A and B are shown apart, each in its own frame.
Chain A
Amino acid sequence: MARAVTTQRKTLNTIIAWVIGLVIFFPILWIIILSFKSEGDAIRPPLEVLTSSWTFDSYAVVQERSDYFKHFVNSVTLSVGSTLLGLIIAVPAAWAMAFVPSKSTRNILMWMLSTKMLPAVGVLYPIYLLFIRLGLLDSRIGLVVVLMLINLPIIIWMLYTYFKEIPGEILEAARMDGATLREEILYVLTPMAIPGMASTVLLNIILAWNEAFWTLNLTAAKAAPLTAFIASYSSPEGLFYAKLSAASTMAIAPILIMGWFSQKQLVRGLTFGAVK
């Protein structure tokens, strides 16, 4: 039964929601606008900014100064790589927790989350020394592992909540039919958990893409992603609003576009077990 809603009420909702939505989105819009302005115009009062002429100059300057494409490829490799690696390790663990629960399941889950509480800055030296020993500095593989470990608790938790919602009878039926554990996971469980998996993947790609401490401190020239790209624009000399905006737009655009196209999946799956 649909709720009867007056047009008046709907109009009011629409207006309020759009105003709030635009206010929240405005900073991003403003970055994009300024990125197409000249440095001199970018610092003028807002109305004058809007009426001034448009230009691609800042993008050209930014691209000339630092190779965007190289950083972009690294960002994609690191975020996708760490998420996939995380999934491979997390799926079996989440399966075990969801379908063979024991008294300690909840404690293990909480303990996993608690590993995220060690402040990264405090362990920079130990990890750096470790990376030297292992020859992993400035390597994509080293960062993929670190980013995977950082996000693994979140991945496990999310998958665990999705798996729990799947009725155990289905799995039992599959087992009766002679499915092995591997088949059970691959052909029964995974397809049913696809929506949840999708949002897990999306969330972790976002988190990995935006991680700025390890990706900056453990890389030099080869493995540096877009977080390092942006680190050279934080205080250039003289006027720099347009250049900063252009570099920012380039750094966030890929993930923003991905997020927009997949927002339905993200919204549907981002529950963390909050919905019974």
Chain B
Amino acid sequence: MTKTIRALMGASAVVALTSGAFAETITIATVNNGDMIRMQGLTADFTAKTGHEVEWVTLEENVLRQRVTTDISTKGGQFDIMTIGMYETPIWGKNGWLVPLDDLPAEYDVDDILPAMRGGLSYDGTLYAAPFYGESSMIMYRTDLMEAAGLDMPDAPTWDFVRDAAIAMTDKDNEIYGICLRGKAGWGENMAFLTATANAFGARWFDENWTPQFDTPQWKEALTFYLDLMDQAGPPGASNNGFNENLSLFQQGKCGMWIDATVAASFVTNADESTVADKVGFALAPDTGLGKRGNWLWAWALGIPAGTQKEDAAKQFIEWATSKEYLALVAENEGWANVPPGSRTSLYENPEYAQVPFAKMTLDSINSADPLNPTVDPVPYVGVQFVAIPEFAGFATEVGQEFSAALAGQQTADEALAKAQALTADAMDAAGY
């Protein structure tokens, strides 16, 4: 460990020499997730190494997205670095709004970035944002409840198994719900989960002519399956549950299974926050035997808006925050389990990290997601749990609201699908497809 630190100090001395003369203050917009909050706490290390100061604008995900999208599309220039996702990066990169990250120094080792992440954050082969952490989705389950139900979770279960297990684990009188799934409306909330799940059921958003596909039997099967399952084994108020709500339920021991982002693994196994930290098992997201698993691919990444005056300082920050050394720094302060996951191959080759219980399953999940080939039938778009076109966030959120209302029992699956079909078609028409 000390060797790493010494190497770090050496490297920083060089950086300080080359850039120390122009100490600047950069403004970074970021999301209020745990890993980013941790990064804020470690800013002093960056300032010590480069002399640059950082001003943080930390916002809730929806507010952040609204804020940075307005700013970048009007060239407002309020931020030197923006925290964006795998959805925004290729679209913005294509518009020429982001500074290409094609001149990263050799010691940054850009080839170490997981190929899936690098691909998703590039447009036309050029990297436009560096992954801070990456994730797929997987099943997190309670080993004790699974055992009590007399079941054995396979590494790669089917949806049928998951349904049966969820029903068997449910004990509503004691507030144990067999399965917690996202129901809160939003393209990054319930629609991320449902789109990925629909992929496993052979459904897709659009056919090759960009015609919406909600009127197909596959979508009906996927949605009906989800609604029935949540009805029998889900928690109350599921139509308002997103990632955070489910995390909180799982940590309180109220969920038997939870299918969600792989990053949640470090929170549910953290004994400080979770009452079930030592009773959690992991498995790949379920399939239905059609060849696609319902697991998504996502990265929170740091990008530099084109036109910023502080491009060099911003690049230095990205090199710091997404480097191998940053991972080592977090490991030293908080332990390996709390390192931002899913961005670098070397992390998964590190023997110390291999001891983290969810490391292997996270990597397997990430590797099994294929954004270029997300569905059973061919599609004209890129993205597992989203469609990488600018209009998607808008109409997917509205579709999500229809599905959420169906989950709340306010309309049937058929009604929700019919509305989804109509409004998607309308939105595509407005966008000129």
Contacts and interface: CB of A to CB of B under 8 A. Distances in A.
Interface in A125-149: 125, 128-129, 131-132, 137-138
Contacts of B79: 220
B242 A235 contact: yes
Interface stretch (B149-157, B244-252, B397-405, B416-424): B244-252
A228 B60 contact: no
B216 interface: no
B60 A238 contact: no
Contacts of A6: none
B267 A238 contact: yes
B40 interface: yes
Interface in B239-261: 242-244, 247-248, 251-252
Interface of B: 27, 29, 32-34, 37, 40-41, 55-61, 63, 66-67, 70-71, 74-79, 242-244, 247-248, 251-252, 267, 273-274
A235 B244 contact: yes
Contact of B247 (A128, A217, A238): A238
Contacts of A228: 57, 59
Contact of A238 (B63, B74, B75, B244): B244
At the interface, is chain A mostly helix, strand, loop or mixed?
loop
A237 B60 contact: no
Contacts of B247: 237-238
A134 B41 CA distance: 35
A193 B32 CA distance: 47
A95 to B, nearest CB: 40
29 contacts: A64-B41, A65-B37, A66-B56, A125-B70, A132-B76, A137-B76, A138-B78, A216-B67, A217-B70, A220-B27, A220-B78, A220-B79, A221-B57, A224-B57, A228-B57, A232-B58, A232-B59, A232-B60, A233-B60, A234-B60, A234-B63, A235-B60, A236-B244, A238-B244, A238-B248, A238-B267, A238-B274, A239-B252, A240-B244
A128 B71 CA distance: 8
Of listed A39, A138, A222, residue having the most chain B CB within 10 A? A138
Contacts of B63: 216, 231, 234
Given A64-B41, A235-B60, 7 more contacts: A39-B273, A125-B74, A128-B70, A132-B75, A217-B66, A220-B27, A239-B252
A19 interface: no
B164 to A, nearest CB: 29
Contact of A237 (B27, B70, B267): B267
A239 B244 CA distance: 9
Contacts of A65: 37, 40, 58
B40 to A, nearest CB: 7
Interface in A195-224: 216-217, 220-222, 224
A238 B274 CA distance: 9
Contacts of B59: 228, 231-232
A234 B79 CA distance: 22
Contacts of A39: 273
Contacts of A221: 27, 55-57
Contacts of B76: 128, 131-132, 137
